[in-house]
């Protein structure tokens, strides 16, 4: 037999309320949902506690007064000697570039025996200018020298004969003086003729465009048949000795740590090969627009170092003795960089610091630490000033 049982409940006003079976089922469901929700909350709380302890380290033994304090890993950053490095970029150029042009009157170029990319020695002919007219002028000047020499010889002979006749009374002293002057004038004309001939030879020699020093020809801007003159500009550009340099742009703050003679490593863009050089000149001025200065790095010749190319440089900026910390230990906010150190009463103490060089081993702390402190290595962002903590030294290995 099917039947439905009802439950009568007494209300506060004296009346009775009938509660059927479906109502009882709904009540039980609500109780179960509440119980399950409570269990989920407890489970989440347990997971949170486990994660907190996992992050801060193992919990202290039960019964310890500090059992509720977070355990943190600390490190004592002893002072180390660190080699500083500055990264910079710049353009490659010839360290001593020699522009070579026409130094004489110029003319038509008849030969260019060298090309760009070739090595030349000092005094080597780079280009030859036509000198057909100048050659004739030089021959004429040389002939004038011989004429003047003949006149001088004749004047000297006349003077010698007159001196032999003075004692006999055939030649007066005035005649001797006149012949002496004639001889002297003839000798002077010889010197003038020789000087004019030498001048023409020197002018003709300048029609050969020669290398002022040994080096690598970077540019050739002339061809046979071209008319060249002093107004033509440089016909060749030579890197003296083949020496190159990187004109590295360095920030104003980093310029103070550089000095001539420090080593640098230069890597041209697109090349896996690096070259060792040294800073030979520091710019005495700072660009007011970019706030950068120039460090000129001398480099020996190499085919990969092409003037006008771009390159990266790593410059050694000297050594510093200071504590070094991993990046995880240094925090920052609106007030600057800081770390947490363990105070004498085992509490987290905020310590402002100033950082310096960044290396592959960590960050150098230039101010704020002397290296004897216990610095929180990780999880500093979860601590607050004055919070009691349990310090645990970092395990080696």
Distance CA 74, CA 373 (A): 9
Q: Does 304 fall in a domain?
A: yes
> What pLDDT is stored for residue 239 in this prediction?
95
Q: Which residues of the chain have pLDDT under 70?
A: 1-27, 49-67, 169, 318-319, 380, 395-397
Same domain, 109 and 208: yes
Same domain, 310 and 329: no
Q: What is the pTM of this model?
A: 0.57
> What pLDDT is stored for residue 7 in this prediction?
43
Q: Does 355 fall in a domain?
A: yes
Same domain, 127 and 203: yes
Instruction: Count the neighbouring beta carbons within 10 Å of the beta carbon of residue 261.
Output: 8
> What pLDDT is stored for residue 10 in this prediction?
47
* DSSP secondary structure letter of residue 354: E
> What pLDDT is stored for residue 127 in this prediction?
93
Residue 114 makes CB contacts below 8 A (sequence gap 6+) with 120, 124, 126, 217, 220, 236
Pure H helices in 119-237: 132-166, 173-205
> What pLDDT is stored for residue 268 in this prediction?
94
Q: Does 168 fall in a domain?
A: yes
Domains in the chain, number: 3
Same domain, 294 and 352: no
> What pLDDT is stored for residue 23 in this prediction?
57
The residue among 299, 316, 333 that closes a domain is 316
CA 27 to chain centre: 79
Distance CA 97, CA 181 (A): 55
Do 235 and 291 form a contact (C-beta atoms < 8 A)?
Answer: no
Same domain, 325 and 312: no
Same domain, 255 and 349: no
- Per the structure, the complete domain to which residue 387 belongs is given by 71-84+321-393
pLDDT tens readout for residues 322-367: 888 888 888 888 888 998 999 888 888 899 998 877 777 788 888 8
Do 220 and 115 form a contact (C-beta atoms < 8 A)?
Answer: yes
> What pLDDT is stored for residue 241 in this prediction?
92
Cβ burial 147-176 (10 Å sphere, 16+ → b, else e) = ebbebbeebbebbeebeeeeeeeebeeeee
> What pLDDT is stored for residue 312 in this prediction?
93
Question: In three state form, how does the secondary structure of 71-140 look?
Answer: EEEEECCCEEEEEEEEEEEEEEEECCEEEECCCCCCEEEEECCCCCCCEECCCCEEEEECCHHHHHHHHH
Distance CA 271, CA 343 (A): 52
E strand or H helix that includes residue 365: strand 362-367
> What pLDDT is stored for residue 2 in this prediction?
43
What CATH number did the domain enclosing 256 receive?
Answer: 2.40.30.170
């Amino acid at each position: 037999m099917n039947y439905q049982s009802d439950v009568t409940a007494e209300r506060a006003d004296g009346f009775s309320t009938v509660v059927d079976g479906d109502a009882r089922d709904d009540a039980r469901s609500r109780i179960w949902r509440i119980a399950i929700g409570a269990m989920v909350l407890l489970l989440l709380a347990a997971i949170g506690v486990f994660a907190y302890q996992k992050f801060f380290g193992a919990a202290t033994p039960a019964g310890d007064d500090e059992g509720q304090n977070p355990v943190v890993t600390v490190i004592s950053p002893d002072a180390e000697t660190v080699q500083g490095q500055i990264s910079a970029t710049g353009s490659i150029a010839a360290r001593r570039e020699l522009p070579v042009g026409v130094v004489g009157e110029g003319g038509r170029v008849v030969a260019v025996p060298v090309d760009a990319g070739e090595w030349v020695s000092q005094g080597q002919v780079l280009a030859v200018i036509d000198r057909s007219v100048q050659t004739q002028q030089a021959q004429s000047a040389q002939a004038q020298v011989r004429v003047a020499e003949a006149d001088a010889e004749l004047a000297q002979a006349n003077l010698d004969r007159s001196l032999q006749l003075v004692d006999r009374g055939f030649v007066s002293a005035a005649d001797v003086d006149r012949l002496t002057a004639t001889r002297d004038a003839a000798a002077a004309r010889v010197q003038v003729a020789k000087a004019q001939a030498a001048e023409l030879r020197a002018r003709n020699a300048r029609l050969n465009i020669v290398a002022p020093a040994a080096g690598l020809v970077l540019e050739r801007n002339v061809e046979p048949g071209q008319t060249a003159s002093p107004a033509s500009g440089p016909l060749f550009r030579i890197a003296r000795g083949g020496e190159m340099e990187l004109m590295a742009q360095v920030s104003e703050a980093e310029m103070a740590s550089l000095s001539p003679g420090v080593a640098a490593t230069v890597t041209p863009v697109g090349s896996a090969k690096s070259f060792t050089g040294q800073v030979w000149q520091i710019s005495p001025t700072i660009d007011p627009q970019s706030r950068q200065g120039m460090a000129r790095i001398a480099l020996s010749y190499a085919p990969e170092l092409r003037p006008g190319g771009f390159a990266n440089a790593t410059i050694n900026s000297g050594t510093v003795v200071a504590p070094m910390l991993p990046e995880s230990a240094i925090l920052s906010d609106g007030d600057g960089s800081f770390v947490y150190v363990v105070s004498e009463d085992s509490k987290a103490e905020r310590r402002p610091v100033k950082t310096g060089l960044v290396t592959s081993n960590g960050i150098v702390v230039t101010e704020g630490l002397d290296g004897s402190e216990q610095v929180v290595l990780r999880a500093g962002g979860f601590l607050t000033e004055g919070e009691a903590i349990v310090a645990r030294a970092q395990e080696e290995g």
